[in-house]
Amino acid sequence: MHARRRGSRSLLRHRALRPTVAVARYIVFAALALHDYPRQAVDLRDADDDALELFAHEVRRFYPFFPFVAAIVRRNFTWRGYEFEEGTRTLLDLYGTNRDPRVWDAPDTFRPERFRDWDESPFNFIPQDGGDFLHNHRCAGEWITKELMEAAVDFLVHSIDYEVPAQDLSVDLSRMPAIPASCFRITNVRRVH
Ligand code: HEM
């Protein structure tokens, strides 16, 4: 009984609490996007929930929080002429796929509106792994991630005013998970409602 409770606590910690806390990093990148693209912040003030969703999608597409996932090949197979041998460590390039110019128009431009025409393929937009979460490895908490980000962005654009002091907002692409060097410090925070 106790062992089962301990087991379910550990499952909760690893499968729910830890990844939920990790969403804070995406929220840092969302705040960075509002700072880097101030026009977006102005537009979001008068926008509907759809616009928040498009913005959250684009933050996850554009910023390199979780750049790749690793796996070991279980059985030999060939994919598009590439041989995958059992036991080989492979990397799926999440960041590269999300910015692949064969899929995304002007991939290095931050443009949430692009998601209005997105075909909803589970294989081209893969910030939290690809495929379907029921049958493949795609993140089971993607919808929670999205909801948390939308709530945070809504709060940042509607409920508070703040200043962004000088700091180092560069992102080291060799760091995983990535984050701006100074995280994202804000000062002079005031409630607006
Ligand atoms: C910071 C946001 C998040 C990122 C970047 C992320 C990323 C990922 C990735 C890449 C995988 C696939 C791992 C693999 O290939 O084996 C995954 C799986 C998973 N994620 Fe997330 N995740 C996030 C948030 C969440 C949240 C908030 C939850 C739940 C509260 C969650 C629950 C899960 C679960 C249960 C799996 C395992 C799915 C399976 O093995 O079939 N994740 N996540």
Q: 179 CA to middle of ligand 1, Å?
A: 18
Instruction: Return the C-alpha torsion angle 134, 20, 193, 49, nearest 10.
Output: -20
**The pair of three-digit structure tokens given for residue 38, joined into one six-digit string:** 């101030």
Question: Angle at which helices 38-45 and 49-62 pack, to 10 degrees?
Answer: 160
Task: Flag residues of the chain having pLDDT under 50.
Answer: 1
Position 6 scores a pLDDT of 62
Domain 2-63+94-191: CATH superfamily, name plus number: Cytochrome P450 (1.10.630.10)
Q: What is the pLDDT of residues 78-116, one digit of tens each?
A: 999 999 999 999 999 999 999 999 999 999 999 999 999
Nearest CA to ligand 1 atom 7: 128
25 C-alpha to ligand 1 centroid (Å): 14
Cα 114 to Cα 106: distance, rounded to the nearest angstrom? 10
- Residue 32: the pLDDT is 98
CA of 1 to the centre of ligand 1 (A): 28
Domain ranges of the chain: 2-63+94-191
